[in-house]
Amino acid sequence: MNVLTDNFSTYARGFLGTVELTVYAGLLALVLGFVMASFRVAPVASLRVFGTVWVTVLRNTPLTLLFFAVVLGLPRFGLVLPFQLFAVLALGCYTSAFICEALRSGINTVPRGQGEAARSLGMTFGQTLNLVVLPQAFRSVIPPVGSTLIALAKNSAIAGAFSVTELLGTYKTLNELGYDIVWTFVWIALGYLIITLAISALFHALERTWGVAR
Amino acid sequence: MTATTALYDVPGPRTRRRHRLYGTLSTAVLLGLVAWILYLLFDTGQFTRTKWMPFAYKGIQELLLRGLGNTLKAFAIAAALSLVLGGLLAAGRLSDHRAVRLPAAVVVEFFRAMPVLVMIFFIFVALKVQPLPALVAGLALYNGSVLAEVFRAGVGAVERGQREAAFALGMRKTQVMAHVLVPQAVRAMLPAIISQLVVALKDTSLGYLITYEEFLHAGKLIASNLDYDLPFIPVVMVISPIYIGMCMLLSWCAVRVSRREQRSPKTRAVAVATPGPGALLPGREPPLAPKP
């Protein structure tokens, strides 16, 4: 029971590590996912192909394999970065594939007439996408993007196994100090619950303000 | 493609020329990127003989095959257990008795909210279970909970009239479920179930982190071998296509089944979406996006 009070700083460090990882990887995933989604609906064939390959490959890659390739493989390439950055890279790219698909299906929910109306006003592809379709698509993808980011927070646990400071990794330190392992895990589980519930609450708030009532 | 999107019109001659220009430019950039990666690979000597030698040895091939076999074994057990557990939990959640419904809901929500790896580590470290059972148990708990939601959504997607008609014929609750609702629900659920099995297959690689001797673990053994000059990249190049290929095959099955489902005249294609991977606050399932 006193695992938490005795080792509050260890837990706090792990907790903040997970939060940081989630935030940075989440931002990367949102940006990359947006880019890939616009590639996938673009009129240029080679961009569409690239987007499709990106999504198909990453969605079917086990995250552990991706971590293995990035954290252990890339340094062999002569690319040496801090573990934390590698983890953000792996998590961000992996999650971007799911964000891309959420955005793309969001684009599909916007009625065709909207795009046609924009075009009849003389808007270009970029204008149609950015001024008319995406603003509406964003509102309908809030829930799926939210659950993708929750999945990201949970997936960040894998980073701990690849020596990044995060919540799950704290068990190793505490295990070596001889604390009761069950209680250690109870607090870790609570930490994750706090993070996932916070994201969930945030996205419910976003949905209430921006969501589309259909 | 043009027909399915409202974003751009059928291009005219000038636009076509412009698109060709963009196409050439982006192809050039992408090819440049590939060339740069290839250059890096050659430059850091990833294609040297020593690095690729291990794959010529019988023992190492057997090691990889055994790893692959262990991965598939873990997947098969985990998939079977998740389906059973999912069925049980769904039955619990659909029960008329509060005393059954509530615990089932708590179990489902809790295991969906936990990272799979935390559960696997907990079972492995705290309960001191062997790697394979720990991995399988973790996967079954997580995927079983998610599948429970799929099953529930599937039963809920069957038209109300079916249930009412069955009750009107004097069937009991179990009969209504077993003879009327579930057989119809299975058709709609199948794609979502297969997609969830892809998740289970991908997650078997977590076994690597608890020293279960699966495919990735075999790869790591070869990769960190000093005699062959640490062939990390070659190992990734050999292992990834196999792993990704297996998952893609299964994903492709899901897509095919769902296409056939939508064409089938027997069902008015009620799509059951995979419930989000996260535990959103109970009772508020996100309206999952239509049309894939």
B248–A56 CB contact, under 8 Å: yes
ipTM of model:
0.86
Of A59, A100, A68, which is closest to residue A87 (Cα–Cα)? A68
Show residues of chain A in contact with B244, CB under 8 Å.
Answer: 57, 60-61
Q: Is the pLDDT of residue B2 over 60?
A: no
Taking CA–CA distances from B127, the nearest residue in chain A reads: A182
Over residues A50-76, the pLDDT tens digits come to 999 999 999 999 999 999 999 888 888
Chain B touched by A145 (CB under 8 Å) = no
Of B279, B289, B115, B184, the C-alpha closest to A138 is B289
Torsion sign (Cα): B215, B220, B226, B230: positive
DSSP for A161-180?
HTT---TTTHHHHHHHTT--
Q: Grade residue B271 by pLDDT with cuts at 50, 70 and 90.
A: low
Q: Which chain B positions have a beta carbon within 8 Å of A108's beta carbon?
A: 289-291
Cα–Cα distances in Å, from B222 out to A23, A155, B55, B173? 35, 26, 9, 56
pTM summary value: 0.87
Residue B8, SS3 per DSSP: coil
DSSP B132-169: HHHHHHHHHHHHHHHHHHHHHHHHHHS-HHHHHHHHHT
- Which residue in chain B has the smallest CA separation from A77? B44
Task: Output the pLDDT for position B49.
Answer: 82
Q: Would you say A133 and A108 are in contact if contact means Cβ atoms under 8 Å apart?
A: no
Q: A110-119, B72-81, B245-254: which range is least confident on average?
A: A110-119
Q: With CA atoms as reference, report the closest residue to B173 among B90, B290, B91.
A: B91
Report CB contact under 8 Å: B205, A60: no
* B3 in contact with A, Cβ within 8 Å: no
Instruction: Return the pLDDT at B272.
Output: 66
B188 pLDDT band, cuts 50/70/90, is: confident
| Residue B281 in this model has a pLDDT that exceeds 70 | no
| Cα separation, B108 vs A15, whole angstroms | 24
Q: Give me the pLDDT at residue B277, please.
A: 46
Contact A23, A11 (CB under 8 A): no
Q: Which DSSP symbol is given to B276?
A: P
Q: What is the mean pLDDT of residues A12-35?
A: 93
Q: Please say if the pLDDT value at position A117 is more than 50.
A: yes
Residue B292 pLDDT = 33
Give how far Cα B47 sits from Cα of A131, B229, B241, Å: 48, 11, 17
Answer with the residue of higher pLDDT: A180 or A2. Answer: A180
Euclidean distance between CA atoms A193 and A199, whole angstroms: 10
Q: Do B284 and A119 touch (CB under 8 A)?
A: no
Query: Does the pLDDT of residue B289 top 60, yes or no?
Result: no
Q: Encode pLDDT of B100-115 as tens digits.
A: 999 999 999 899 888 9
